[in-house]
Amino acid sequence: MKAELIPISKNTQLIVGKSYPVRCARMKDGAIIPIIGKKHADPELGVVGEHYHIDGRFFLPKAVTEKYQIDEDGRTNVILCANEEDIDWNCIVELVVKQKKCVRLTTGVNPPSRDSTSIWGSLKGFEILQVV
């Protein structure tokens, strides 16, 4: 019988090069993307849809970093939408726990500037990425 993976906690002291059980989002395109924090909205930033942030501390293949606009330091403004009522925003299929290798100690969450705009116009600073 396979043991259930318990994801790391926010207090876990990570070591670069070591693998950890990490909460991830399985995307419609099959990508497994590490996430950080809880599902939430950021209405103060104009992002009212519930979403998760990508955790840039863990390894992702180049094709995934390119598609999800993650830079070489693991930073991105792309959020993974989880609004089940609006299929256009729901690109997450399910949450899973997977072993992922730690490649850096910074999370990769890249807060937007207050005056930036996104591809959706009404959302400021974050890009809503729908994967088809």
**Per-residue tens of pLDDT for the chain, all 132 residues:** 455 677 888 788 999 999 999 999 998 888 899 999 888 888 887 777 888 999 999 999 998 888 888 888 888 888 888 765 555 444 788 899 999 999 999 887 776 555 544 433 334 444 444 433
Structure tokens at 63: 């094709």
- pLDDT of amino acid 124: 41
- pLDDT of amino acid 121: 38
- pLDDT of amino acid 84: 57
- pLDDT of amino acid 60: 93
Q: Could you give the 3-state DSSP secondary structure of residue 99?
A: strand
